[in-house]
Amino acid sequence: MSFNYLIAINKETNWTSSDVVIKVRNILSKALGEKVKVGHMGTLDPLATGVLLLGVNKATRLFDYLLLKDKEYIGTLTFGSSTDTLDSMGKVEETSNLPKLIDLKAILPQFKGNITQVPPKYSAIKINGKKAYDLAREGKAVDIQPRQVNILDINLVEYTGTEDAVESVTLDVKCSSGTYIRSLFFDIATKLGVCGHMSMLNRVALANLKLENAITIDELIKNPTSHSISPIEVLKSLMDVYEVNDEEYYDLSRGVGIKLENNNEYLAMAKDNEVKFVAKNIDGVYKSVTNLE
């Protein structure tokens, strides 16, 4: 395999996604004896743990495809207080009583399907070129527009407290890309007429990668080059894979399109079971739009 590959890291709490990128880049650069480019495929908040997918070298060019894949989270919503960041790392702004379990179970189905949510003001969303959390920290007004997201499934895993006073609830959420679990939990608490904030979040799946496929930083340090994931293994969960012949490979590498009997918008073009290009269907002709060579 080339040095263009993916790594799934099981991120620890209190680490930013950028912290992980820097750490992995240093580990791999030292192990491979050359400067390595590393980028993450979708941010995890510092509080969150779980699957953080990284691209190495030219595999970072797959960001736009992998970022749009559905995700699954296990998270805990704690009732009784709300914070400015919508999670337990923020400043408490309001307190309330606790909800009843029967009411919680009744409203959860309302959050399944296409819903509208407002992302947190403490988020990496850019407003006029500046990140929202920077504006919020400066005390400036943050106007974030609502967005449509898809909650594919949401299930109650466990709760603490009593049926008449639920202190916290752990939920299993399968959702589209772009979903803010902090906002989802805040909206659930609001619907119940109480305060609430996210106190735990673990991303357990991204694309076809599960938490058991992810490694810790310590495991990577021990075996820096033995945890690579071929891009083809993840891309095949997003699009069809087409094995090119020598002539097609030559054409694609020169920017010449190839005509195929296929209606898919994108195809992963592989040679010898290794993705070389991602090609887009333009009037029946597939042209390379992402080159991993």
Give residue 122's pLDDT.
59
* 70 among known catalytic residues: no
Q: Given 45, 87, 172, 272, which residue is catalytic?
A: 45
Q: For the chain, give every domain's residue range.
A: 6-69+207-234, 71-206, 239-291
Pick the CATH number of 71-206 from 3.10.129.10, 3.30.2350.10, 2.60.40.10, 3.10.450.50: 3.30.2350.10
Torsion region of 122: left, alpha or beta (phi above 0 gives left; psi -120 to 50 gives alpha): beta
Domain 239-291, classified CATH 3.90.1420, yes or no: no
Q: Name which of 195, 173, 197, 193 is nearest 185 in CA terms.
A: 197
Tell if the pTM clears 0.85, that is, is over it.
yes
Whole-angstrom Cα distance, residue 80 to residue 98? 6
**pLDDT (tens digit per residue) in 118-142:** 887 655 666 656 665 565 565 666 6
Please write the tens of the pLDDT for every residue from 229-268: 999 999 998 899 999 999 999 999 999 999 998 889 999 9
Lowest mean pLDDT among 22-26, 89-93, 122-126: 122-126
